[in-house]
Structure 1
Amino acid sequence: MQLFYTPDIEPTHPQYFLSEEESKHAIRVLRLETGSEVQLIDGKGGFYTAVIHDAHPKRTILNITSVTEGFNKRSHHLHIAVAPTKNIERLEWFLEKATEIGIDEVSLIISQRSERKEAKVDRLSKIITAAIKQSIKAYHPVLNEPVKLSELLSRPFDGQKFMAHCEPGKKLSLRNELILQSRYLILIGPEGDFTPTEIETALQNGFKPITLGESRLRTETAALEACFEVNFLNRI
């Protein structure tokens, strides 16, 4: 299967022109020819089958043969807010794997102990795009610009809100707390964890403290564990 990401495609149009970059990849790299069948995803749930009408290396023309809306749409919505790791490759790893497993939105949060205060969202989004093509997903997760934790905590969210942290105290299990087929926002802190003040503020804003197991996990591992648990529990 040769899959292309085409976010500007219109479901009602019978033809589509691949971008110059994708055209070059299709014709020069993959050696596709006129008559070759390809698949397209628009990042909004659309999955398309098309046939190459004109195999031009700069402007390949496709004839759309079928459209599936809501392709493999999931029963829940998962938003993970995670502090960017000092080693950006660890964050990239999380984004790739979480996209493959299933995630809808990622917010990059800056907290008091964050060692990284910024991240290049454009570059990180390309990693997500590559991952949806690899895993054949028609929905492209949203990646938000870095935001201060205090600002994110004050934003309204219609769903369940959780916070994973390493401070002592009673913590809940997602297995026991999760309302299935719902919306979830989960906070994952930086390498130095959230501060006690940040934890208290989150609790005051309706977040529930959760445990992700007995092991002390790296930031990106904790975020991926939360992603896996939510998706596993929502399997039907």
Structure 2
Amino acid sequence: MHIFYTPDIQSEKYTLSEEESKHCIKVLRLDTGSKLNLVDGKGGFYEAVIVDPHPKRTGLKVISHLKNYGKRNHYLHIAVAPTKNIERIEWFLEKATEIGIDEITLVICDRSERRDVKTERLNKVIVSAVKQSIKAYCPKLNEPVRFSELVSKNPSSQKFIAHCIPAKKNSLKEEISLNSDYLVLIGPEGDFSQEEINLALKNNFIPVSLGDSRLRTETAALEACFEINFLNR
């Protein structure tokens, strides 16, 4: 069944946005009586029927509603340095949303190759992935923030920094407690600076290894996303 993203839905009557209405009527060619599903990004999963098939403002009637649909037993926040080629971050956002992630922060580091990011396009990638993977929760994408600001203010229960500098590090599997909330820091292609690593350790971040291979930024971020989800199954 077709999925539509409806973040402002509040009652049993709803009107699709112009963009979603056009897709519904002109592209999918749905009509009066057609059933479709809605997700609000906050855990609500709805079944609705078309009552007014207008190409700019399609009217729907909700016929069933589930709360906390697909709610997971943990909260995952990944802070990742934006890559020079923004399409690589778009790829990460798409795949991480499909796997399961709650929050993403674009973190600006000493060695970041990109410091300015427009999040409007990135949010569209996330919403598209939410619909494709039938997720009722939409990950929160934060505006870019300096590394020092992020590590000094985040209250997550378990905080990790994945870096490549030789040092004593355990795997995520050895360090995480299950059913918790996590923040994982993933650096730029040139890795975190030693000063950044020291600051993270000072703020109770645990250094971890993501394996023996040297991973690209977006690959490392996705590996952390997959591993934490897998361990919490």
TM range (shorter): over 0.9
1:7 paired with 2:4, answer no
TM-fit CA distance, 1:158:
3.2
Bigger drift between 153-162 and 38-47 goes to 153-162
Matched with 2:75 is 77
TM-fit CA distance, 1:59:
1.0
1:187 paired with 2:185, answer yes
Distance 2:217 2:164 in 1: 11
Distance 2:214 2:76 in 1: 23
TM-score (norm 2): 0.99
Matched with 2:44 is 46
Q: After superposition, what is the alpha-carbon deviation per residue over 1:99-156, rounded to whole angstroms, capped at 9, x for unaligned?
A: 0000000000001000100111111000000000000000000000000000001103
Correspondence for 1:118 among 97, 116, 126: 116
Identity %: 67
Give secondary structure in 2 for the equivalent of 1:169.
coil
1:126 partner amino acid: K
1:165 paired with 2:163, answer yes
Distance 2:19 2:114 in 1: 32
CA contact (8 A) 2:169 2:208 kept: yes
Q: After superposition, what is the alpha-carbon deviation per residue over 1:155-209, rounded to whole angstroms, capped at 9, x for unaligned?
A: 0313100000000110111111111000000000001000011101100100000
Give secondary structure in 2 for the equivalent of 1:92.
helix
1:47 partner amino acid: F
Matched with 1:197 is 195
2:9 partner amino acid: I
List gaps (5 residues or longer) in structure 1: none
Aligned residue pairs total 233
Distance 1:57 1:121 in 2: 28
Distance 2:141 2:92 in 1: 12
Distance 2:67 2:182 in 1: 24
TM-score (norm 1): 0.98
Distance 1:62 1:74 in 2: 29
Distance 2:154 2:85 in 1: 31
Matched with 2:212 is 214
Distance 2:37 2:71 in 1: 17
Distance 1:220 1:158 in 2: 22
Matched with 1:223 is 221
1:61 paired with 2:67, answer no
1:130 partner amino acid: S
Give secondary structure in 1 for the equivalent of 2:91.
helix
Correspondence for 1:150 among 148, 155, 163: 148
Give secondary structure in 2 for the equivalent of 1:200.
helix
